[in-house]
Amino acid sequence: MSDCIFCKIMAGEIPCKKVYEDEEFFAFHDINPIARVHFMIIPKRHVASLQECAAGEEGMLGRLLLLAAKLAKELGLSGFKTAINTGKEGGQVVFHLHVHVYGGGKLAHLE
């Protein structure tokens, strides 16, 4: 997807603070964090949103959540919140599937 911001970040065309990378996933800090720690995990294969995930993506989605817990722990979070905004009405702005992981703060909206 040549016009996708997150694909450009993965390709190194837009700089980011990388958290993690393997064959399937890429994780990086949100440019506009809403908690002391706020990063996102994306699948390397461009999928626009959770609504575009088909049967057969169960494995990828399961590994995505397990990775969220693993990376949160590695970043020192004893607890964390996840969010997957889906579709315009769901508050999704970037149409490349991503899970937000945030924590480490006592921000009002995290309570």
Which residues sit at the interface with Zn ion, rule CB under 5 A? Answer: 1, 4, 6-7, 46, 96
Question: How many residues would you count in the chain?
Answer: 111
Q: Give the distance from CA 23 to its chain's centroid.
A: 15
98 catalytic residue (yes or no): yes
55 vs 89, which CB is nearer to ligand 5GP?
Answer: 89
Would you count residue 82 as binding ligand 5GP (CB under 6 A)?
Answer: no
Q: Give the distance from CA 15 to its chain's centroid.
A: 16
Encoded amino acid at 91, one letter:
G
H/E segment holding residue 66: helix 58-74
Would you count residue 11 as binding ligand 5GP (CB under 6 A)?
Answer: no
Contact footprint for ligand 5GP (CB under 6 A): 5, 9, 14, 16, 28-32, 85, 91-94
Catalytic residues: 98
